[in-house]
Amino acid sequence: NGVRFAYLEQGNGPLVMFMHGFPDNAWTYRKQLQVFADAGYRAVAPFLRGYAPTEIPADGIFDPIALGKDLEALIAALSDDGQACVVGMDWGGTSTFQALATAPSAIKAAVVMNTAHPIGILSNRKDPEFIRSIFHVFFFQMPGADSLVNIEGLPFVDYLWKLWSPTFKNDEHLRSVKETLSSPGTMAAALKYYGGLTDGIRSGLPMNEM
């Protein structure tokens, strides 16, 4: 799909794709890669478009259609039979929803976590509690959000992890996430996903037909 992807992998056999979200990176699946490799699978966790060391797309597009095409192309490039099982978290879930809609034959089975389906977003948009729970979606689209989030130490990353996973304790992984997001251009790219999602919903992209 016009982007060079970096990915982690372990094992040989049928392909299982592990797709991360924000604020995260491919290393979140380090334990799952080992388990699935031991079970006889080729387990692959790519860094999503714009997340170093994967390239930042020259066209600056981060909408769900692009994410779905990325997943389709990765499956085609990495699988022996053009198919894979997919596990998607957050933006990885968005890419999975999109690929299920546009290339269902490429996905044998899918698990989607912590990802609002576009129809669910539309149906819940009048619920104040729901809107409060996804405040970051709107905040990240505000002018100047990049300069407020992309500051030394990335404290906003710490805040979101504490908010969403209050019992999580893994300083090594958080350092890895911050290293990824601190790479030149990565944070700006990661925040563009949010505008891509809302623009897609407003314009009625094919994901609304899922």
Q: Rounded distance, CA 44 to CA 114, Å?
A: 20
* Cα 162 from chain centre: 19
Strands 7-10, 42-46: pairing is: antiparallel
Report whether pLDDT(203) > 80. Answer: no
**Ramachandran region of residue 114, left (φ > 0), alpha (ψ -120 to 50) or beta?**
left
Tell me: pLDDT of 132 over 90: no
Quick one: which H or E segment has residue 178? helix 171-182
What pLDDT is attached to residue 119? 72
Res 205: pLDDT? 53
What's the token pair of residue 14? 């049928």
Whether this model's pTM surpasses 0.85: yes
- Which SS3 state, helix, strand or coil, does residue 87 take? strand
The Cα–Cα gap between 166 and 38 comes to 30
Query: How confident is the model over 82-105, as a mean pLDDT?
Result: 96
Among candidate residues 51, 44, 52, the one with its CA nearest the CA of residue 73: 44
